[in-house]
Amino acid sequence: MVHKSFASSSLSSVNSNKTRKLPILLFDIMDTIVRDPFYQDIPAFFRMSFNDLIECKHPTAWVEFEKGLINEVYLAILEEAPRVSPLRPWLLISSQKSVMGQVEKSTLSHYCHEGCRMELSEIFFKDGRPLDLEGLKNCMKNGYTYINGIESLLHNLKQNDYEMHAFTNYPIWYTLIEEKLRISNYLSWTFCSCITGKRKPAADSYLEVLRRLEVDPASCVFIDDRMVNIEAAINAGMVGLHFKDAASLKQDLTLLGIETSPRNKD
């Protein structure tokens, strides 16, 4: 890690008249902010070992789910729809709501074609066995908890006016995390792979972040628990911090000159 200090500089935000405090903090979510239930809870849900789950599940279904290429409902598949389409938020809604009740059928047909990919429940397992989708979602939601000590750190960073964004590989089920933990109290779900269609550590995912934020790469601090993603961020010119726990992250941020203590009340 490079120990350089970020001054409390600012620049004009393209999207508002407010000044922008640098650096911008980009957080991975799973096993950085939120405990990932995939490794323990999900195998237990299926009553199999983790290794057996890896062997049984479709090799690419989850990755495609994370990229927004498949979803829980057929109409959520938008391989031909523009990523910036105003329809996309509706079409990314899970089976909890009816898409057809929100958007005109004629408008949907402009984007959805007969070759729409199958939904997650159809291809989760390689052998096509049935998937209890709602049971799986409930299991995951029950397993979502904040990593010890991280919420108070996020609170302090927010209180000190740092701009923070999620930069994570995750499907539309990020909404389940939000419903339970209200992470948006601290940061924006800006760069979720199911929305951008890009996954770390692909170089284009980092370029998309920089394009959207319109800042120099060195003005971004990226935090992730996976070194492969950190290395890709550094290659893109960002500052990368390898997450181990909240205490060490606080120390690393402090070494960069980032204010991590609660703001003193006047």
Question: Which CATH number is 230's domain given?
Answer: 3.40.50.1000
H/E stretch holding 159 reads helix 150-159
Average the pLDDT over 113-130 and give the result. 72
- Which tokens in the block code for residue 92? 């990314």
Tell me, what's the pLDDT at 109?
A: 36
Q: Which residue has the tokens 């006016």?
A: 161
The verdict on 73 and 195 lying in the same domain is no
Residue 220 inside a domain? The answer is yes
Final residue belonging to a domain, choices 87, 113, 142: 142
Per-residue pLDDT band for 30 (boundaries 50, 70, 90) equals very high
The verdict on 78 and 121 lying in the same domain is yes
Domain, as residue range, for 224: 10-35+146-255
With 70 as the cut, is the pLDDT of residue 79 above it?
no
The pLDDT tens digits for 169-190 are 999 999 999 999 999 999 999 9
**pLDDT: which is higher, 180 or 81:** 180
With 70 as the cut, is the pLDDT of residue 98 above it?
no
Q: Which residues pair with 27 in a beta bridge?
A: 166, 223
The verdict on 188 and 246 lying in the same domain is yes
Average the pLDDT over 155-174 and give the result. 97
Please name which of 138, 63, 79, 73 lies closest in space to residue 99, comparing C-alpha atoms.
73
Tell me, what's the pLDDT at 128?
A: 86
With 50 as the cut, is the pLDDT of residue 86 above it?
no
The pLDDT tens digits for 55-67 are 999 988 889 989 9
The verdict on 89 and 22 lying in the same domain is no
The verdict on 209 and 129 lying in the same domain is no
- Domain total in the chain: 2
The verdict on 179 and 117 lying in the same domain is no
The verdict on 99 and 157 lying in the same domain is no
The verdict on 72 and 84 lying in the same domain is yes
Residue 4 inside a domain? The answer is no
Final residue belonging to a domain, choices 100, 124, 142: 142
Final residue belonging to a domain, choices 83, 107, 142: 142
Residue 162's Cβ-count burial label (10 Å; 0-12, 13-18, 19+) is buried
With 60 as the cut, is the pLDDT of residue 225 above it?
yes
Tell me, what's the pLDDT at 20?
A: 87
Residue 1 inside a domain? The answer is no
The verdict on 138 and 173 lying in the same domain is no
* Mean pLDDT of the chain, nearest integer: 81
